[in-house]
């Protein structure tokens, strides 16, 4: 069984994007290792970041990050897509926008 989860969209101001980092994280909350993919898309449906995860242990997590926001628009919208090799409630995931110091500006959980 393969399940797909999505985060709500986040709006990012591109003028100051050098000061931001975008993270897509997954946490295995099941009792068995989990495998899947992590993808970040813009609102045009273009994949802008990708990573796979393989055999993440129960209670363990992983993620991908992206920092280069080079778009001609003053703001962009992005969302995360997460796949898992089991039921969707076997993982928790979120899309996080942080500043250059690592402080979370906004976080959106996947469902």
Residue 81 lies in a domain: yes
Question: How many domains is the chain partitioned into structurally?
Answer: 1
What CATH number is attached to the domain comprising 91? Answer: 2.60.120.260
Residue 37: domain span: 3-100
What would the pLDDT profile of 12-35 be if each residue is shown by its tens digit?
A: 887 767 788 999 999 999 999 999
What would the pLDDT profile of 57-70 be if each residue is shown by its tens digit?
A: 999 999 999 986 66
Residue 48 lies in a domain: yes
3-state secondary structure (DSSP) of residue 104: strand
3-state secondary structure (DSSP) of residue 86: coil
Instruction: Say how far apart CA 48 and CA 39 lie, in whole Å.
Output: 8
Q: Tell whether the model's pLDDT for residue 73 goes beyond 80.
A: no
């Amino acid at each position: 069984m393969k399940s797909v989860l999505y985060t709500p969209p986040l709006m990012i101001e591109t003028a100051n994007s050098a000061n931001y980092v975008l993270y897509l994280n997954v946490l295995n909350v099941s009792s068995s290792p989990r495998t899947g993919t992590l993808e970040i898309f813009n609102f045009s449906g273009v994949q802008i970041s990708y990573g796979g995860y393989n055999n993440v242990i129960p209670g363990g997590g992983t993620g991908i990050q992206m920092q280069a926001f080079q778009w001609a628009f003053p703001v962009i919208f992005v969302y995360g897509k997460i796949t898992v090799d089991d039921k969707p409630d076997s993982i928790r995931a979120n899309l996080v926008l942080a500043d250059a110091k690592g402080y979370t500006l906004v976080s959106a959980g996947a469902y």
